[in-house]
Amino acid sequence: MKKLITATLLLACSATAVVAQGNEGYVFTPVKELKITPIQNQSRTGTCWCFSSLAFIESELIRMGKGEHNLSEMFIVNHSYRDKADRYVRLHGFLNFAQGGGFYDVLYGIKHYGLVPESVMPGLEYGEDIHVHGEMESAAAAYVEAIIKNKNGKLSTAWKKGFDGIIDAYLGKLPETFSYNNKQYTPMSFAKELGINADDYVSLTSYTHHPFYSSFALEIPDNWRWAESYNLPINEFMEVFDYSINNGYTIAWATDVSEVGFTRNGIGVMPDVETIETSGSDQDRWVGLSATEKNAELRKLVEKPIQELTITQEMRQKAYDNYQTTDDHGMQIYGIAKDQNGKKFYMVKNSWGTNSKYEGKWYVSEPFVAYKTMNIIVHKNAIPAAIRTKLGL
């Protein structure tokens, strides 16, 4: 997922029936709400992929009866930087080297490196109280670039140690052992006791440039591990969302949040702009407006119920092919709600802190999810049996 730096979010609201802008705004009522851990803040970093994946894993631990845990994102981020540097050098620099990543980076990390609690490795070793990764990224990127451009004709035996030193200086050294709840662990023994089997989780997507019911590596810059996703038709892809939530499984959700319908006030909708612009006397408000002015007007309109697009498979593919759908942000879907008109919305846990209208949670419509989802991670058992059979799972 691309870098998303947290904006300053305004206002706050209540929980059960959530109201926006008096009688004209949305009123949300949860229909099915699964347990999540407290909202975190990725702050000025591009590590949404890790925050959302571990939020998903933390909910899995609750579902499995393992209790509530706050897992360390920076333990996984540290390991991922090391692995990414190795691959970047092996590919002579032909790889996206940035803060972004994917859900599979966390699953790979759990399987190969384990887990540690947040209290063991908060990852703030550089004089900040909250995550700020710009300097670290620049230093790490400059280092690996220098390594591949060196004039010695071969790599030294010291370059990895030097790179690890940069990451450790910012995020802290990787713990070999630690104490948690009066018990000694290694990262691998801790992950084993938690009982998370990374192989139980799969990535799903829905695009037509690869055959349905096969798997392929999503062609996005942050998929640097070349992780594969199973490909489903859009109707079956959307079926997984409801089946998963209704059967007690949350979802790790990668999406494009650059759309005008994804607001900083906790709403994600896919407005039918063409119909809105040409509907009767409403045309008057659009005539002569610049693109920036139109966007400003639309941002006002999407704060209350609005007509949305009907999403097709072809629309999804066209937006992906034309760079109109990009891999911007990772979050966690944990429930289903209805607005005052009975329209379905998915309940989303974000990682931009709690200083927002819905205290760090978003409500995204079914059309938005159908159109702008890049991929999801779910437990195998969160997929309907008939679809699992088609995928050979």
pLDDT at 391: 98
Per-residue pLDDT at 271: 92
- In the prediction, which pLDDT does 8 show? 34
What would the pLDDT profile of 268-306 be if each residue is shown by its tens digit?
A: 999 987 776 666 545 555 566 777 777 777 778 888 899
At 13 the pLDDT is: 35
- The Cα 248–Cα 120 span in angstroms is 30
Q: Please provide residue 178's backbone torsions phi and psi, each rounded to the nearest 5 degrees.
A: -160, 165
| pLDDT value of residue 153 | 86
C-alpha separations of 137 from 92, 96, 173, 381 in Å:
18, 12, 17, 37
Find where tokens 């999810």 sit.
Answer: 369
In the predicted structure, residue 11 carries a pLDDT above the cut 90? no
Residue predicted with more confidence, 151 or 159: 159
CA dist 179 → 119, 170, 185 (Å):
10, 22, 6
Report the predicted TM-score, pTM, of the whole model to 2 decimal places: 0.91
pLDDT at 4 exceeding the cut of 90: no
Under the banding of pLDDT at 50, 70 and 90, the label for residue 10 is very low
Question: For residues 348 and 362, what is the distance between their CA atoms, to the nearest angstrom?
Answer: 5
pLDDT of residue 290: 73
Q: What is the set of domains in the chain, with CATH numbers?
A: 18-270+308-391 (3.90.70.10)
Mean per-residue pLDDT, 375-388: 98
Inter-residue contact 58 to 72 (CB < 8 Å): no
Residue range 197-254, pLDDT digits in tens: 999 999 999 999 999 999 999 999 999 999 999 999 999 999 999 999 999 999 999 9
Q: In this structure, what DSSP letter does residue 380 have?
A: G
Q: Is the pLDDT of residue 367 over 70?
A: yes
- At 14 the pLDDT is 34
Instruction: Fill in the DSSP letter of residue 117.
Output: B
* Residues written for the chain: 393
Distance CA 141, CA 163 (A): 10
The whole-number pLDDT of residue 301 equals 82
Exposed e or buried b per residue across 113-151, where buried means at least 16 C-beta atoms within 10 angstroms of its C-beta: bbbbbbebbbbeeeeeeebbbeebbeebeebbeebeeee
**pLDDT of res. 273:** 79
Token pair belonging to 202: 């799969």
Confidence grade of residue 12 (pLDDT, cut at 50, 70, 90):
very low
Q: Taking the C-alpha atoms of 303, 306, 310 and 315 in order, what is their torsion angle to the nearest 10 degrees?
A: -40
**Spatial separation of the C-alpha atoms in residues 345 and 335, rounded to whole Å:** 9
| Greater model confidence, 318 or 21 | 318
* Kind and range of the H or E run holding 375: strand 373-379
H/E segment holding residue 365: strand 361-365
Supply the pLDDT for residue 293.
Answer: 75
| 9-13, 187-191, 219-223, 359-363: least confident range | 9-13
Pure H helices in the chain: 48-63, 73-90, 103-113, 134-148, 159-171, 187-194, 234-246, 273-277, 291-301, 313-321, 366-372, 385-391
pLDDT digits (tens, 9 = 90+) for 114-134: 999 999 999 999 999 999 999
Residue 124 makes CB contacts below 8 A (sequence gap 6+) with 130, 131, 172
Confidence of residue 2 (pLDDT cuts 50, 70, 90): low
Query: Residues 241, 369: contact at Cβ < 8 Å?
Result: yes
Would you state the pLDDT for residue 156?
Answer: 94
The residues, any chain, with a CB within 8 Å of residue 117's CB and separated by 6 or more, are 69, 70, 71, 72, 178, 180, 190
